[in-house]
Structure 1
Amino acid sequence: MKNRIAIYGAYGHTGKFIVAELYRQGYKNLLLSGRDLEKLLVLNNVFPDLEVKAADIHEPASLDNAFSGAAIIINCAGPYLDTAAPIVKSALRTGSHYIDLAAEQKAVLDIFEEFSEQAEDKNILVIPAAAFYGGLADLLAAVITDDWDYTDEIDVYIGLDSWHPTKGTRLTGDRNHYKRLTFKDNRLQELEQTLSKEWDFKIPIGRKEVVSLPLSEIITISRHLNVNTINTYLSRNSLDDLRNDSTPEPKPVDEKNRSSQRFCVEVVARKDDIERKIAAQGQDIYAVTAPLVVEAVNRILSRKSKRKGVATLAEAFTAGDFLKSLQEDDIIISL
């Protein structure tokens, strides 16, 4: 039981990718959980040897009952503005490590501010935003600034050839009405104005107009890197897709159930007159979250984490080694 892993929101779009990847890598002691028992039972038809327990974020006892004995809880159920705090509290009560996929800045910031001391006292690791948004850019930024004592500026460029959002993404967007934060002059502050420019992501994304849109990587990177300014830019075409109510949900096109959507994340770091770049390319922003989360699980269970308490992916693990462990079919890293 010591390696039991609970996946909350297991029947969600990204949750199913994570369950499948854990199962593929040999994890069979999995607990499928979430609010909707019927959806859990449908997923259980695909994985009949896995246990199912329904739990509700408004019922702490049901969460504790579901997560009892779990080494790690993976929270795949957004909006994280609603689900993160109740499940982190349950993790603290059950002594379980916690991972989530939050793109919402406030949800991530709240976890750091509310639970850091408690998690350290309980000797558990809490990792928010261990996903395409938040976690990936954090790892990339840590790699190219590893030998710098400070960094003047980090720019994150996210290019998608298209964005077919899930229902969960749309729900999160409707729920997240907080002002976006950027990082400037060594502090978090509200984004004053939306800037736009062109950025060449090369093949397969190409040259795109990008607009400033800070997401959870602003929080993750600024928590542990000594940097003056952090900017995030998202390709405008993907933002237009997201804002268009008629844009369809992602459709599977391969054996991993990934959609055809391609992505590129480029991180540019500057110190004095030195500039460094690193890029990550792959297929399907939802699917690529699974190998990131499962590698975090692997490292927690093999005691390769560098610390306890609330931490980002790059704080908890050695970023370069973490990225090298990922399969090229999932993500391609290039300096």
Structure 2
Amino acid sequence: MSSHRAHEVAVFGATGYTGKQIVRELLAAGRDVVCVGRDRATLEALTATFGQPVPIEIVDLTDRPRLEAICAMVTTVVNAAGSFAETCEPIARAAITTRTHYLDISGEQSPIRFVFDELHDLAVSAGIAVIPSAAFYAALADMLVPITAAGLDRIDTVDIAYDITDWTPSGAAYNNFLRGIGQPVVQFDHGFIDVATPAYYTADFGRTRGAQRVFTYPAPEVLTLPRHQNIDRIRTSMTTSTFRTPVPDRLVPTVTRAIGKGLRGPAAPLVKKVLEATTGSSHDRIDNDPTRFRIAVTLRADTIVRTATLAAAGIFDITAPIAARIAEVTLHDSFEAAGALAPAQVVDPKTFLAGLTEHGLSYHLGTATGDLAQ
């Protein structure tokens, strides 16, 4: 495929915080990249910082012929332009029409579910891969779980808990946060279910963080893991401390639901102002990533219990190498996978996570109980 295309990769949303880092990762790897966006001046200012000529393309997502023309130029498109509820379908459909691989960095459950439910068969017929959530959400957990589950034929339950410090939603991430807050959360229990009322419980983050209070959170690996692991139930959560709300931890789920209702009613402007004042969130993009994160996995299979933790800095910064390296895999002549695929179906999880250690990522498999293999 690549021998018949003018370029290798097109990055949509190249001027965004993560998009421009993905471009830099790909250029550093020697890849031929096209930067795609809506504003020529902003794109030209961006490419002037790269120290080498980088082509740009201007497009409006409502212009289907133009979208297809850009996709036809490359082997793979990377969609880093949120909100993915708006950008995923037009870009992915244009990619499928032109037989171009597609991946995105979405953490939104709705567009990820759309990719698997609506685009899988089309992608198989086109002979190309569509890979949602090649990012901090859900790629890291999507790869940590199969490593933790090595040798198990079936898993009863998987609990995945996130702890993020210094997280301040801004720009597109803030808009996505507002759109999703208070919405039903998709979890997995012998099939996908909507959870209207978040649960409140405790998760163990290991020796560094210990036990933390968490509540049900719409993490996207709920949708990716069942593609390649035999799991009965998946539960995902976030620490209450992540949101830095000025209420007791036990009230965070209730307050979250109330905020969600407020954002969909006449008091929405006031609710947004209160959110911005109490959390520091902003529609203006913050051009740094001060976050640190820890992901804790607990899986159970009959009498076996296994745990694992993964940690690093920068939920947005770590997304750039994740997306760039998965995109690179699709450029290889030997890559023949087709359909809607989870990140762990495209790369070897253990090798991939090991390759991210240069970005400060580390993971630890805890001691197992009831496991004769240990």
State which structure, 1 or 2, has the greater radius of gyration over its C-alpha atoms: 2
By how many angstroms is 1:168 displaced? 0.7
Q: Is the aligned partner of 1:56 residue 2:51?
A: no
Confirm or deny: 8 A CA contact 2:13 2:81 kept in the other structure.
yes
Q: Secondary structure at the match of 1:260?
A: coil
Confirm or deny: 8 A CA contact 1:120 1:309 kept in the other structure.
yes
Confirm or deny: 8 A CA contact 2:161 2:236 kept in the other structure.
yes
Q: TM-score, normalised by structure 2?
A: 0.81
The structure with the largest helix share of the pair is 2
Of residues 183, 188, 194 in structure 1, which corresponds to 2:192?
Answer: 188
Match in the other structure for 2:355: 325
Aligned residue type for 1:41: E
Confirm or deny: 8 A CA contact 1:102 1:133 kept in the other structure.
yes
By how many angstroms is 1:239 displaced? 2.5
By how many angstroms is 1:224 displaced? 2.5
Query: What's the Cα RMSD here?
Result: 2.2
By how many angstroms is 1:60 displaced? 0.7
By how many angstroms is 1:298 displaced? 2.6
Match in the other structure for 2:262: none
Aligned residue type for 2:302: D
Confirm or deny: 8 A CA contact 1:282 1:332 kept in the other structure.
yes
Confirm or deny: 8 A CA contact 1:181 1:188 kept in the other structure.
yes
Change (3 A) 1:119 1:160: same
Q: Distance in 1 between matches of 2:303 and 2:133?
A: 31
Match in the other structure for 2:368: none
Q: Is the aligned partner of 1:157 residue 2:161?
A: yes
Aligned residue type for 1:292: I
For residues 1-335 of structure 1, the aligned pairs below 5 Å read 2=3, 4-27=8-31, 29-47=32-50, 48-176=52-180, 178-184=183-189, 186-202=190-206, 205=209, 207-240=211-244, 244-246=275-277, 247=280, 259-303=289-333, 305=335, 307-335=337-365
Q: Distance in 2 between matches of 1:172 and 1:159?
A: 19
Aligned residue type for 1:32: C
By how many angstroms is 1:173 displaced? 2.5
What is the percentage of aligned positions where both structures have the same residue? Answer: 26
Change (3 A) 1:203 1:62: farther
By how many angstroms is 1:202 displaced? 4.6
By how many angstroms is 1:174 displaced? 3.1
Confirm or deny: 8 A CA contact 2:184 2:196 kept in the other structure.
no
How many residue pairs match? The answer is 328
Change (3 A) 1:43 1:206: farther
Superposed CA offset, 1:86-145 (max 9, x none): 001111122111110111111011111111111111111110011111221111112222
Confirm or deny: 8 A CA contact 1:102 1:131 kept in the other structure.
yes
Confirm or deny: 8 A CA contact 2:104 2:132 kept in the other structure.
yes
By how many angstroms is 1:40 displaced? 1.3
Confirm or deny: 8 A CA contact 2:8 2:331 kept in the other structure.
no
Confirm or deny: 8 A CA contact 2:167 2:290 kept in the other structure.
no
Superposed CA offset, 1:275-331 (max 9, x none): 112222111100101111122123222356573111001122222222222234341
Flag structure 1 segments of 5+ consecutive residues without an equivalent: 253-257
Confirm or deny: 8 A CA contact 1:161 1:238 kept in the other structure.
yes
Q: Distance in 2 between matches of 1:59 and 1:306?
A: 30
Q: Secondary structure at the match of 1:108?
A: helix
Flag structure 2 segments of 5+ consecutive residues without an equivalent: 246-255, 260-274, 366-374
Superposed CA offset, 1:169-217 (max 9, x none): 1111333475221111x11111143122333435765553211112211
Q: Distance in 1 between matches of 2:151 and 2:113?
A: 26
Aligned residue type for 1:6: A
Match in the other structure for 1:255: none
Q: Distance in 1 between matches of 2:177 and 2:60?
A: 22
